[in-house]
Amino acid sequence: MGAALPQPCYPDGGPAEDGFFAAATEAEAATQVTEVRWQRRGGGERIAAMALLSSIRLRLFESFVNAAAGRRSRGAAHLDTGERGERAAYFRLRRMGYTVVARGWRTGRAPGDLDLIAWEGETLCFIEVKTRTTREVATAESAVDEHKRKTLRRLARHYLRRLPGEEMREETPVRFDVLSIYFEEGKTAEFELFRGAFGWEEHRARRWE
């Protein structure tokens, strides 16, 4: 199977919430996919130029999104922390080379939502984001319990069924990642990414155990 291009779409459903960031990231995903296509067609000089332009555009986009979010803060601390974490996760993964194609994806056929869906190379990743302001009580990733994992698997199956083409649906490598973020007072934000944190079967040990 050849390298699959990322899909800048919500095959069935859409963002879990309306609002500026949800709409903006959907548009930004389409732009990112265009960049990936151009890079695959070009030589070394084109790849370097596109990478530089992408870095500048992403930095400007992040500043714009964070400024807009600051103006529309909901006020409740736990909601603000969660939204801040989702924004930080998006930009962190983008800088790590992930091609993010959906945020807050959901379907009417199952409860819940997928925080981020992204490609890393040829692997389709379903990424759960957990944010905390302290490590003193429990780790962020420990919140991804058995019930949550079942929900994520169910949603991932719905997403996969709606990818274009039988070959893509059956042969695309899939991975479940967990990204823990800590916003501790007086410290720089810390990120811990667990690639392949859990699998399709529950008996597989989680990466943080």
**Weakest-pLDDT range from 50-59, 83-92, 115-124:** 50-59
In this predicted structure, the answer to whether residue 191 has a pLDDT above a threshold of 90 is yes
Q: Residue 8 pLDDT more than 80?
A: no
State the average pLDDT over residues 116-125. Answer: 93
For the domain made up of 14-198, the CATH class stated in words is: alpha beta
What six digits make up the tokens of 164? 């274009």
Q: Is the pLDDT of residue 59 over 70?
A: no
Q: If you average pLDDT over each of 23-32, 100-109, 123-132, which comes out highest?
A: 123-132
Lowest mean pLDDT among 39-43, 77-81, 100-104, 182-186: 39-43
For the cut 70, the answer to whether the pLDDT of residue 201 exceeds it is yes
Task: Give the separation between CA 200 and CA 174, rounded to whole angstroms.
Answer: 9
Q: What is the pLDDT of residue 153?
A: 96
Q: What are phi and psi of 35, to 5 degrees?
A: -65, -40
Domain residue ranges in the chain: 14-198
Contact present, 89 and 96 (Cβ < 8 Å): no
**What confidence tier does 113 reach under pLDDT thresholds 50, 70, 90?**
very high
